[in-house]
Structure 1
Amino acid sequence: MRSDIWRLYRHILIGGAIILLVCYGAIEFIQSRYESDQIHRYMNSDVELSAQLLSKGVFTASTISQYSRFNWQVLSEPEPLLTPPKIKWLTIDSSESVRVFNEDTLFLEGELKPVEGFSVASLLRYYLHSAALVSAKLETLQSLTYINLTEVNPSAYLTSSMSGIDMIQLNEGTSSILWLDADDSSWLISIELGSAFSLGGAVILIIIISIAALLILIWVELTRLDQKRVHFETVTRQIARGRSSLPQGVVDSSGTLKELAYSFDSMSSHIQRLLKVQREMINAISHELRTPIARLRFGLEALKDDVTEEQEASVSALEIDVEELNTLVDEVLTYGKLEEGSLALNFEQTSIRQLLNGIVDHNQPLLQRFDVRVEVSDDDIVTADAHHLHRALQNLILNASKYANSIIAITFTVDNERWQVDIEDDGPGIPVEDRDKVFIPFQRLDNSRTRASGGYGLGLAIVQRIAFWHGGAVLVDGSELGGAKFSLIWSRSQHQNSLS
């Protein structure tokens, strides 16, 4: 069993490790994309600002190159940029370069310097310290794609007095410039991080997905385990209900319940063998008893001609005993066939009203001292094996007659799913703790239900098996009349396709 438990843990551990590796790779990829995006924003801002400054003809390429990340070369006459410049990135011999077009004219070409890190702060500081007008500086900064320009109160960012241009660190972890212009207005200049791309949100999403994937993996394993548990529970209930043909091969050869499955399958097979031997023995004994019973009948019949009147009463009593013994053998054989399902049931549509009236009329000598009340709904056509349903209802009615004081009530009801026949009496009733025992073969309750009441303890067991093969059940409860109430219930739909 330990190896099977380890198998379950191994699946979870391996699945969890794979999920963690995938998450780590995804986070690394997103981090790389995030850093590449930030580098692109810094480089693009550097190129746009350099192009704006060089297009005015005031600054030289060599001067701008000192503060820019690129070594710039002007390829055409400087002209003011009427629209944002077109930027084309190139990779030549493993070196990065960029070309800038003023509309369709190639204006600048720059080669990336081989230094670490990217920042546009040096170029911005140089430009802000230049002699250009404040309005021109603001216009230039506002034209840059990724530059944010916001007028602010410097006291919110600085604890000391401001000195023209200060570098500050924002909460987002990026360096920004706080600029006090000639008009004493304070401006915060920063690179736009791109709110549409959130590294933190992506990481949280990946963690949530990974946890969900791990939970799904655990749920799948537990679901498989629960399916096997349900299967074992179903088979156990079948055994408890006395099903004679238990399922074979209840084996989970590779699952976590392998040993339990083998033990359960072995137990199931052993129970089937015991039940089979028991049924065969009872059936064999019952069949073998038929011959001596027949000889006893024949002998008693022949003996009647040679006995005196005093002896004739004893012979008649012996005949009654032989008849009871023959009835017992018949009931044992009937129950055995119902138990193993070897009886051929012939389902057909029959009138429950005619069936009940026929039983009451046939047993009138036994029922004449009772007030028998039969109540049947208008829709009295049922699907059943008429012979065995007659046997079950007759057993229930005769059982009620043994214990009723004066009243036997028979009620038939129907709904969309089932038919139900209730048989009640006003006798002593059955204690709650004994109600399940009445369906056990040869089981008799306390001393108040003695052999004087007749029967062999098989009648209700036969009723239960007939109900089972009709897709129903027989229940026992207390009656409003004061005695017991037996309810024979069976399905309306189970045998619709079996009509003959």
Structure 2
Amino acid sequence: MRPEFWRLYRHLIFGSILVILTSILFLLFSSVQRNTLLAQSNVCADAEISLAMGLHGIPLQTPNDSQFDLSSLSDKTFSDEDIKEIIQNKKIITSSLGISSLVLPDLAQTAEIKSTRDDNILPITRLFSQFLQTPHISEAKKLSMIDWMECVQISPFEQTKPPLASNFAHVFIQGEGFAYLWQLADKRVFQVSIVYKRYYQTAIIITIVSIAMLIMLVFVWKEFSSLENRRKSFENFTRKIAQGNGRIPDEIPDGSGALKELAYSFDSMSSHIQRLLKVQREMINAISHELRTPIARLRFGLEVIKDEVDQDNLMTIEALEGDVEELNTLVDEVLTYGKLEQGSLNLHFEDTNIRQLVDGVLQHNSLLLSHLKVEVAFSEDESGVLADAHHMHRALQNLILNAAKYANTKVSVVFHQDAERWQVDIEDDGSGIPLEDRDKVFIPFQRLDNSRTRASGGYGLGLAIVQRIAFWHGGAVLVDESELGGAKFSFIWSRNQHKNTLS
């Protein structure tokens, strides 16, 4: 496995293990913490209820009903103010061994807990029952003492129907733990319960897990960011190669990674293809250059003998001159395409009036277009573009003459623009191009075997040249079906591709 992918999987695995272990440890910790808080609340409530009864000299039914031994208070008398002060100012001290002691103010007395049982719900229930049902303390005084207590709370409860069988019931209230329903003589019902300290277990678990996942995602994000940066670098390299701007450089990010091997494999393939294309271009250019000399000699020879032949052979000489001119045009087309393909042309981008270029093409080729109706849709105040005027003129001329070859009666030239691009649409009302053949029209020397091309002549280079001109303008040429019934060629190029050339 490649190092970068191993690091990614490692972060995912370790991060998942971290989240699971953190959750388990916190669940264990929170369980212990929750039990501790519950025990502390029970001990506190036990102490307050036991004090309320002991300070009034009311003995417990059994010694095990409370976890504190307050029998020494039964022979003393306390006022209501003393009882209030003792209940409110009591202290429960828990030692490191978990043993709790009840310290009473102004009495110089400490009552140690007798038991550390976890099953203290039943004693608490009996203790509450004795306190709420004892006839030795009035209901009003019980209500006041509960208000003095820190760990016992009381609130009105909706009247039950039918009324409680007795004035006390032990119930379980969902979400509130154990509660005690106390019905007074006037039939009012109160809910008396222990105040449990809230422990936000779920929120804390979510927070801890979220932090652990965030840490894991940070490491994963760093790996993905590294891969994304290398992908962008590789994409830039491949784009340069596609434009013929050289090979992949040596300083590829992460020299030990799989992307570098992929890059150099691609570079090797690209180099091989470039060598083949270079040989092909050199051969075509060499042949084209070599043909110029014999073509020039043929043209000169025909001019010489043209004055020496009789009228009967003059038409033959003129036909030969036409053939030589056609051959010379083919050589020029091949050389032009070779320069565009190789990127060796010096393009000069400048503010150009596209309407003037189109008008120039139409005027220069007026004889070839005389049998057609040519419609031009331009806005005078929106015809300025950034382009190489010479090559844009060549592209527009090739597209317009191509449409003229196949049009029956009409050719349309329309200019569009938006914030990102310029577009020139050239349409004809001819036979159109089948969908499966539309990509083939841009292949050099490609001739489609249909009625649109068999009798039209040409060399198969005109649209290939247009495509290369569009490429060097940062655009493309698209083929679609025209509303006129024929073909629609859209020359599209970017407004921002060469904007820096004006600065």
Q: TM-score, normalised by structure 1?
A: 0.76
Structure 2 residue aligned with 1:297: 296
SS of residue in 2 equivalent to 1:70 = coil
**Residues 153-195 of structure 1, C-alpha deviations (whole Å, 9 max, x = no match):** 899899xx76x8776666679566677889999876542445x
Aligned amino acid, residue 293 of structure 1: R
**CA distance in structure 2 between the partners assigned to 1:366 and 1:93 by the alignment:** 108
Structure 1 residue aligned with 2:113: 112
**CA distance in structure 1 between the partners assigned to 2:236 and 2:96 by the alignment:** 75
1:138-149 paired onto structure 2 within 5 Å: 138-149=143-154
Aligned amino acid, residue 144 of structure 1: M
- Bigger Cα displacement from structure 2, 211-220 vs 468-477: 211-220
SS of residue in 2 equivalent to 1:410 = strand
The question of 1:479 aligning with 2:485 is answered: no
* Structure 1 stretches lacking a partner, 5+ long: none
**CA distance in structure 1 between the partners assigned to 2:302 and 2:200 by the alignment:** 110
**CA distance in structure 2 between the partners assigned to 1:115 and 1:93 by the alignment:** 13
Structure 1 residue aligned with 2:103: 99
SS of residue in 2 equivalent to 1:391 = helix
Judged with a 3 Å threshold, the aligned counterparts in structure 2 of structure 1 residues 155 and 341 are, in CA distance, closer, same or farther, namely: same
The question of 1:27 aligning with 2:8 is answered: no
Q: TM-score, normalised by structure 2?
A: 0.75
Structure 2 residue aligned with 1:328: 330
**Residues 264-293 of structure 1, C-alpha deviations (whole Å, 9 max, x = no match):** 862464145314421343234313431343
Judged with a 3 Å threshold, the aligned counterparts in structure 2 of structure 1 residues 113 and 12 are, in CA distance, closer, same or farther, namely: same
* Structure 2 stretches lacking a partner, 5+ long: none
Which of 322, 330, 341 is matched with 1:339 structurally?
Answer: 341
Structure 2 residue aligned with 1:281: 280
SS of residue in 2 equivalent to 1:29 = helix
Per-residue deviation, 1:383 = 1.2
Which of 491, 494, 501 is matched with 1:491 structurally?
Answer: 494
Aligned residues, how many?
485
Per-residue deviation, 1:294 = 1.2
Per-residue deviation, 1:22 = 1.4
Judged with a 3 Å threshold, the aligned counterparts in structure 2 of structure 1 residues 157 and 444 are, in CA distance, closer, same or farther, namely: farther
**CA distance in structure 2 between the partners assigned to 1:317 and 1:451 by the alignment:** 22
Structure 1 residue aligned with 2:67: 69
**CA distance in structure 1 between the partners assigned to 2:379 and 2:134 by the alignment:** 107
**CA distance in structure 2 between the partners assigned to 1:475 and 1:374 by the alignment:** 19
1:34-433 paired onto structure 2 within 5 Å: 34-56=34-56, 58=57, 67-71=65-69, 78-79=78-79, 80-83=82-85, 84-90=87-93, 94=97, 95-101=99-105, 105=106, 108-113=109-114, 115-117=116-118, 118=120, 120-121=124-125, 123-124=127-128, 127=131, 132-135=136-139, 136-149=141-154, 189-193=192-196, 197=199, 201-202=202-203, 205=206, 244=244, 248=248, 258=258, 262=261, 266-267=265-266, 269-298=268-297, 300-302=299-301, 304-305=303-304, 309=309, 317-379=319-381, 380-433=383-436
Aligned amino acid, residue 287 of structure 1: A
**CA distance in structure 2 between the partners assigned to 1:180 and 1:304 by the alignment:** 132
Judged with a 3 Å threshold, the aligned counterparts in structure 2 of structure 1 residues 70 and 204 are, in CA distance, closer, same or farther, namely: same
User: Does the 8 Å CA contact 2:330/2:459 hold for their aligned counterparts?
Assistant: yes
Judged with a 3 Å threshold, the aligned counterparts in structure 2 of structure 1 residues 173 and 358 are, in CA distance, closer, same or farther, namely: closer
- Bigger Cα displacement from structure 2, 205-214 vs 313-322: 205-214
**Residues 94-139 of structure 1, C-alpha deviations (whole Å, 9 max, x = no match):** 55434333xxx46643333353335544544554675613434454
Per-residue deviation, 1:385 = 0.7
- Bigger Cα displacement from structure 2, 5-14 vs 79-88: 5-14
**Residues 362-386 of structure 1, C-alpha deviations (whole Å, 9 max, x = no match):** 2233333433333421122211110
**CA distance in structure 1 between the partners assigned to 2:188 and 2:488 by the alignment:** 98
**CA distance in structure 2 between the partners assigned to 1:19 and 1:113 by the alignment:** 42
